[in-house]
Amino acid sequence: MSVARYFDEMSYGPAPEADAEARAWLKKHAAGFGHFINGAFVKSADDGHFETMEPATDARLARVAQGSAADIDAAVKAARAAQARWARLSGHARARHLYALARAVQRHGRLLAVIEALDNGKPIRETRDIDIPLVARHFYHHAGWAQLQETEFADQVPVGVVGQVIPWNFPLLMLAWKVAPALALGNTVVLKPAEYTPLSALLFAEIAADAGLPAGVFNVVTGDGGTGAALVAHPDVDKIAFTGSSEVGKIIREKTAGSGKSLTLELGGKSPFIVFDDADIDSAIEGVVDAIWFNQGQVCCAGSRLLLQEGIADTFLARLKRRMGSLRVGQPLDKAIDMGAIVAPVQLERIKSLVATGVAEGADLFQPKMTLPENGCFYPPTLLANVQSAATVMREEIFGPVLVAMTFRTPDEAVMLANNTRYGLAASIWSETIGLALDIAPKLQAGVVWINATNLFDAGVGFGGYRESGYGREGGREGAHEYLKPAAWAKRKPRAAAEPLPQPQPTADGFGLPQIDRTAKLFIGGKQARPDGNYARVVLDPKGRKLGEVGEGNRKDIRNAVAAARAAEAWSRATTHNRAQILYYIAENLSARADEFTQRIVAMTGTSKVKAAAEVEASIARLFSYGAWADKFEGAVHQPPLRGVALAMNEPLGVVGVVCPDEAPLLGFISLMAPLIAMGNRVVVVPSERHPLAATDFYQILETSDVPPGVVNIVTGTAKDLAKTLAEHDDVDGLWVFGAAELSTMAEKLSVGNLKRLLVDHGLAIDWHDRAAAEGPILLRHAVQVKNIWIPYGE
């Protein structure tokens, strides 16, 4: 080509990154990689192995061990053996280890970047400039949490041995997101990388050992989904942290039910990218490029649904198509390309088949003319326009470089379309009107919202989903809590088995006046309601004498209560001041009737008057505490090293079911209901099955305390049946279950449908009078989910 033509075309020539060092490292391990267990590489117990391929060329890259249950067991044993010593180190000592890891990642940054690009197929420009610097940042940031742990998390202890299962789209970055906080806070780890991309984790293990990380603290077992399943099933793992598909996330939720393991899930998404007609169009178009063609669109929070305001749609799409034509797809090690290879043939086939479905369902397909490399898994940047909201490609995560587009007219319609998905991971808003953007942000069901930006990440800012995008946060203070548990809950004992119900005693000989009907109804939508089935259950005192009757609530009653709670949505938007006042008012009204409640507790439980009075006093104080917290349990402003800040907002979960324990029938009820409503949730409460009358007496207090109808709904009846209905109900956003262990297990198993947020006690008793164990942030943290809203700020 002549020099003149080069100037005419201004096209890039190839600019390959050197891979000699990476190839030499692979050659050193040509005999095959073992698992990294207890500080050394070891062969698979059954010598199982598989091959990893280079997606850009189809060439074989390495031979890797296929982990069996025996390998997982060896790794968990190593992690367990190391955990107590690791946790006993001072925070400062752990901070030094994390700092050493951060430095080592930086020192080996180029090798890590090349290995990652070879194994995954992503452009070196991204691994070098985004993935690896962020990996180092995660270790630096979390070195800081280790250093501060003793003062900042004084009331918490490490979870223990953590099993982590990660996907292939950001192999080393996902490792860092999980490993850095876990190790920083005193846990040890068994990591199962994705089968397509195990190499950077193995290289990291080598680097970590060189950097002096003690043996057993960090272990890697490679393998496929079966290896992951063995880790999930291992009885000596205290927590599972998973990132990957929603399908597997749900399987893991079910498999861990009843095991006592804690669980965080970071799953898929179908994130909206909303462009208003007053947006800076050039910036928004570059935003789309980052949203959906970064990492070939294999990003859980990819802005894959483009929502365009009608007036600008035609211009926007025309300019976008032009921009798509200038994207370069090519060899990952070429420093001048925009998109590399898709991770594996099976993923490529999935993308092709979903695009074909989109076209068959009527979408307009656009792909720029370009020549793709002959070998390897490549797919061009793709736009499907005019897609209907019910279309498969609008609903399903494609996980490839495919953008689907549709239009909207008004901001309200934009919000409706944006939220019209079972997911809730991220969203991006583009408008030059700050008022509009900040009006939309709180209305979006998403754990991360970017304003005039997209795909920004930082170790200090929590990341994670709403709804079926999973639960838990990674990064920042909010993420640190996921690797800690309250010290006050660490030594709980299983509840004593309930005393058998007393034999009912006859109460009248039939000659006195007939008893006045004292059947307490249900409390739904601010009104007392007869139970749907028209059955009542008798409430006995400890001697078997009849104290009264309550409604036997059923599935339909729960449905009505959930509908009433859903309709009381204004409560979630009420000011914190307003909610605080109402909680104080409830406390005041309870105080006015303290004697009556004391007598009720004595009659129901047979406890002494002094103890019953103490329970009522503690309940009043607890209501005051949550009145206090209502306007004080606030979010934070994160200051990531980027142009902007992130507002970490504590948002309510929405509608939350609560199943109360039998002990402390009034204080238990208040201790669970109050933090939830203080944070703006609406609740459907199932009071103590055995002693429900304190809760049914409470209706009158709610009625006289200005609690809006539907904010607190109470359904009495059989805890097991009502808990089951709540767990299965897809319009319930959260569920708190306290009581028999089997109720917790059932709630965990049956809540997979919409992955509702759970707080369960696994049958372990809490002393409701102990404020450290039963009041404040320990519960408030579970009553909210953090939404991080990134806004441009400063220069």
Taking CB under 6 A as the rule, which mask of x and - marks residues 733-762 in contact with ligand NAI? Answer: ------------------------------
CA dist 381 and 378 (Å) reads: 10
Residue whose Cβ sits closest to ligand NAI: 228
Phi, psi of 757 (to 5 degrees): -70, 135
Q: Is 228 in the site for ligand NAI (CB under 6 A)?
A: yes
Q: What token pair was written down for 424? A: 């809730």
Residue 44 contacts ligand NAI per CB under 6 A: no
Which one-letter amino acid corresponds to residue 704?
A: T
Verify binding: residue 422, ligand NAI, rule CB under 6 A.
no
Q: How far is the CB of 750 from ligand NAI (least distance, A)?
A: 19
Structure tokens at 678: 């203080």
Work out the burial of residue 277: count CB atoms within 10 Å of its CB; fewer than 13 is exposed, 13-18 middle, 19 or more buried: middle
Q: Which of 167, 186, 411, 486 binds ligand NAI (CB under 6 A)?
A: 167
| 244 contributes a contact to ligand NAI by CB under 6 A | yes
**Sign of the CA dihedral with 685 first, then 689, 694, and 697 last:** positive
The yes or no reply on residue 421 touching ligand NAI (CB under 6 A) is no
User: For residue 189, which amino acid is it?
Assistant: V
* Distance in Å, CB of 109 to ligand NAI, minimum: 23
Q: Which stretch binds ligand NAI (CB under 6 A): 36-44, 70-78, 103-111, 190-198?
A: 190-198
* Residue 126 contacts ligand NAI per CB under 6 A: no
DSSP letter, residue 378: -
Stretch that binds ligand NAI, among 191-199, 481-489, 535-543, 580-588 (CB under 6 A): 191-199
Sheet of 218-220, strand order? 40-42, 35-37, 218-220, 188-192, 161-165, 239-243, 262-266
Q: Which is nearer to ligand NAI, 123 or 167 (CB)?
A: 167
Instruction: Tell me the closest approach of the beta carbon of residue 384 to ligand NAI, in angstroms.
Output: 16
According to CB under 6 A, which one of 109, 214, 225, 708 is a site residue for ligand NAI?
A: 225
Nearer to ligand NAI, 347 or 431 (CB): 347
Contact between 270 and 354 under an 8 Å Cβ cutoff? The reply is no
Decide: is 436 part of the binding site for ligand NAI (CB under 6 A).
no
Q: Is residue 618 classed as helix, strand or coil in its secondary structure?
A: helix
Q: Would you say 290 or 552 has its CB closer to ligand NAI?
A: 290
Distances (CA, A) of 739 to 655, 665, 751, 759: 20, 12, 17, 12
Is 165 a residue that touches ligand NAI (CB under 6 A)? Answer: yes
Minimum CB separation from ligand NAI for residue 342, in Å?
Answer: 10
As a whole number of Å, the end-to-end CA separation of the chain is 43
In the complex with ligand NAI, which residue's Cβ is closer, 402 or 694? 402
Which 3 state secondary structure label does DSSP give 773?
A: helix
> What is the rounded CA–CA span in Å between residue 423 and residue 442?
16
Q: Pick one of 127, 243, 271, 650: the residue that binds ligand NAI (CB under 6 A).
A: 243
Q: How far is the CB of 170 from ligand NAI (least distance, A)?
A: 8
- Is residue 397 near ligand NAI by the rule CB under 6 A? yes
Residue of 117, 194, 590, 660 that binds ligand NAI (CB under 6 A): 194
Greatest alpha-carbon pair distance for the chain in Å reads 116
Shortest Cβ 145–ligand NAI spacing (Å): 24
- Residue (of 349, 339, 402) closest to 373 by Cα position: 339
**Which pair of structure tokens corresponds to residue 15?**
């600019």
Q: To which residue do tokens 């069996």 refer?
A: 68
Name which of residues 338 to 377 contact ligand NAI (CB under 6 A). 347, 350
**169 makes contact with ligand NAI (CB under 6 A):** yes
Cβ proximity of 60 and 49 under 8 Å: no
Q: Which residues pair with 156 in a beta bridge?
A: 486
Q: Interface with ligand NAI by CB under 6 A: which range of 74-82, 98-106, 167-175, 706-714?
A: 167-175
Q: Which of 266, 397, 468, 775 is catalytic?
A: 266
Instruction: For ligand NAI, give the closer residue by CB, 300 or 308.
Output: 300
List the one residue out of 378, 384, 389, 380 whose CA is nearest residue 358.
384
**According to CB under 6 A, which one of 89, 209, 215, 251 is a site residue for ligand NAI?**
251
Contact pattern from residue 300 through residue 319 relative to ligand NAI, giving x for each residue in contact according to CB under 6 A and a dash for the rest: x-------------------
Q: Does 399 interact with ligand NAI (rule: CB under 6 A)?
A: yes
C-beta of 220 vs 712, nearer to ligand NAI: 220
Identify the residue among 229, 306, 590, 604 touching ligand NAI (CB under 6 A). 229
The single residue listed with the structure tokens 């800081």 is 144
Which of 189-197, 405-413, 660-668, 767-775 is the region at the interface with ligand NAI (rule: CB under 6 A)? 189-197
Using the minimum distance from each CB to ligand NAI, give the nearer residue, 52 or 452. Answer: 52
Question: Closer CB to ligand NAI, residue 198 or residue 486?
Answer: 198
Instruction: Name 741's bridge partners.
Output: none
- The answer to whether the beta carbons of residues 95 and 144 sit under 8 Å apart is yes
**Segment near ligand NAI (CB under 6 A), from 187-195, 318-326, 512-520, 526-534?**
187-195
Closer residue to ligand NAI (CB): 168 or 633 = 168
User: Rounded to 5, what percent of the chain is helix, strand, coil?
Assistant: 45, 20, 35
Contact by Cβ (8 Å): 659, 688: no
Stretch that binds ligand NAI, among 164-172, 521-529, 667-675, 705-713 (CB under 6 A): 164-172
The least CB distance from residue 244 to ligand NAI, in Å, is 3
Residue number, 269 or 411, with CB nearest to ligand NAI: 269
- Cα 197 to Cα 45, 115, 164, 242, 445, distances in angstroms: 21, 10, 15, 16, 32
Nearer to ligand NAI, 228 or 380 (CB): 228
- Which of 65, 248, 414, 587 binds ligand NAI (CB under 6 A)? It is 248
Angstrom distance (rounded) from CA 472 to CA 484: 12
Determine if 232 is a binding residue for ligand NAI (CB under 6 A): yes
* Joined tokens for residue 751: 């809540």
Nearer to ligand NAI, 29 or 350 (CB): 350
- Edge-to-edge strand ranges of the sheet holding 382-385: 364-366, 382-385, 402-408, 303-309, 271-275, 426-430, 448-451, 784-791, 645-652, 636-638
3-state secondary structure labels for all residues of 127-162: HHHHHHHHHHHHHHHHHHHHHHHHHHCCCEEECCEE
Tokens of 519: 């059947």
Closest CA to 290 of 242, 338, 247, 325: 338
Binding-residue total with ligand NAI (CB under 6 A): 26
266 belongs to the catalytic site: yes
Contact code string over 258-297 relative to ligand NAI, x by CB under 6 A: ---------xx-----------------------------
- Residue 484: both structure tokens together: 């800690």
Contact predicate 266/165, CB 8 Å? no
Q: How far is the CB of 263 from ligand NAI (least distance, A)?
A: 12
- Active site residues per annotation: 266
Summarize as ranges the residues that interact with ligand NAI (CB under 6 A): 165-169, 192, 194-195, 224-225, 228-229, 232, 243-245, 248, 251-252, 267-268, 300, 347, 350, 397, 399
